Amino acid sequence: MSYEYILMNIALWFGLYLIVALSLNVEYGYAGIPNFGRALAVLVGAFVVGGIVNRVLITLLNVNGDIVKASGEVKSLANIMIAHNPAYGITLLIISIIIAAILGAIIGALFILPSAKLSEDYLAITLLAISEVAFMVCNYETKLIGGYYGVSVPDILAFVPGEKRMLAFVIIISVTAFLIFLILNRMLATPFGRLLKAMRENEELVKAYGKDVMQTRIKVVALGSAIASIAGVLFSFYSVNVIASSFNRVEWTFYPFLMVLLGGLGNNLGVTLGVLSFVVVKVLLITYKYEIKSILHLPFETTWLEYILFGIIMLLILIYKPDGLIKEKPIQTEPIAKKKREIESYSGK
């Protein structure tokens, strides 16, 4: 396997995981909401591509049959159209992202309603349970998005030569992740970001200042879910198929939590570093799994080594490095930063 492919694979997964980890950092890192159901939001993005967009195309292209069978024919017809006119593919991507973000925000807002009277521990379990129920329904009900059979998805880059397709997706995903990073950094460096951290530390104090904690929770989870659903859309189009089992809690909930803890709570730059560190290790483990097994003489498959290693890393972080790779810093809104510059300027004189 070429080093070029390995680097592109790292870049691809770095972009996807960064989107999800940033969304989780808003909810858990800033607002203190332990959303153990993060995978549901990513699944929403996949549902939009595999369930909604596919059905619209089935109707427009007048294809007959159930969703599993019809999706294959739709994929062939749509790929021909996109290959002749790239605008179809780009439009399909943009529309899917918009629909997924809106639907993700709505489901996220509904998703958090049980938190009204639940403490952190019970809330985490409840959110995980809701996510698992949704996952099982999508996995075993073949009429939604094909269940365990899966459904085919049009290749939005059918006009790009095969050898350059992965690079094109790396660029699309990286640009999307970078824009989300910039928007969140700007949004959270405001009184809103300080409100979220205050809510994380002491909800009663926030209530005492007249702030509606439940309303803030709904806004935060709606925002985080909208962002995470975008990752679901991008991953589905890259894979050119949607299989519910690909959107499990390990890949899209527990791993992002590990990345956030590794990088540092309430710190987007730290989370970015945490995601990069995680992805590099994960990709190298998968790429050189046979070599690793041979060198270490493992009595089991290296797939389990991945889970064992990341579990140990999680424990070590919690015990020895709870602040993460980059320690969280106080939020400096623009008025505070301006006043600080004035004081430093005056002191310099």
pLDDT digit string, tens, across residues 165-195: 999 999 999 999 999 999 999 999 888 999 9
Q: How far apart are CA 326 and CA 261, in angstroms?
A: 10
Q: How far apart are CA 281 and CA 313, in angstroms?
A: 11
Q: How far apart are CA 193 and CA 176, in angstroms?
A: 22
Is 101 a domain residue? Answer: yes
Q: How far apart are CA 19 and CA 253, in angstroms?
A: 12
Asked whether residue 98 carries a pLDDT value surpassing 60, the answer given is yes
Q: pLDDT tens digits, residue range 194-224?
A: 999 999 988 888 888 888 888 999 999 999 9
Is 320 a domain residue? Answer: no
pLDDT band for position 339 (50/70/90)?
low
Contacts of 321 (CB under 8 A, 6+ apart): none
Unique residue bearing structure tokens 């943009």: 94
Cα–Cα distances (Å) from 148 to 136, 153, 216, 239, in that order, read: 10, 15, 37, 15
Is 176 a domain residue? Answer: yes
Is 272 a domain residue? Answer: no
Asked whether residue 348 carries a pLDDT value surpassing 90, the answer given is no
Average pLDDT, the chain: 90
pLDDT band for position 347 (50/70/90)?
low
- 3-state helix, strand, coil split of the chain in percent (to 5) is 80, 0, 20
Q: pLDDT tens digits, residue range 234-286?
A: 999 999 999 998 998 889 999 999 999 999 999 999 999 999 999 998 998 88
Query: Are 225 and 111 contacting, i.e. CB atoms less than 8 angstroms apart?
Result: yes
Is 255 a domain residue? Answer: no
Q: What is the pLDDT of residue 116?
A: 62
Q: How many domains does the chain have?
A: 1
Q: pLDDT tens digits, residue range 21-69?
A: 999 999 999 999 999 999 999 999 999 999 999 999 999 999 988 899 9
Is 162 a domain residue? Answer: yes
Is 80 a domain residue? Answer: yes
Structural domain of 98: 3-248
The residue count of the chain comes to 349
Q: pLDDT tens digits, residue range 119-132?
A: 777 888 888 999 99
Cα–Cα distances (Å) from 333 to 27, 187, 244, in that order, read: 19, 10, 41
Asked whether residue 1 carries a pLDDT value surpassing 70, the answer given is no
Token pair of 95, please?
Answer: 């529309």
Is 84 a domain residue? Answer: yes
Q: What is the pLDDT of residue 337?
A: 67
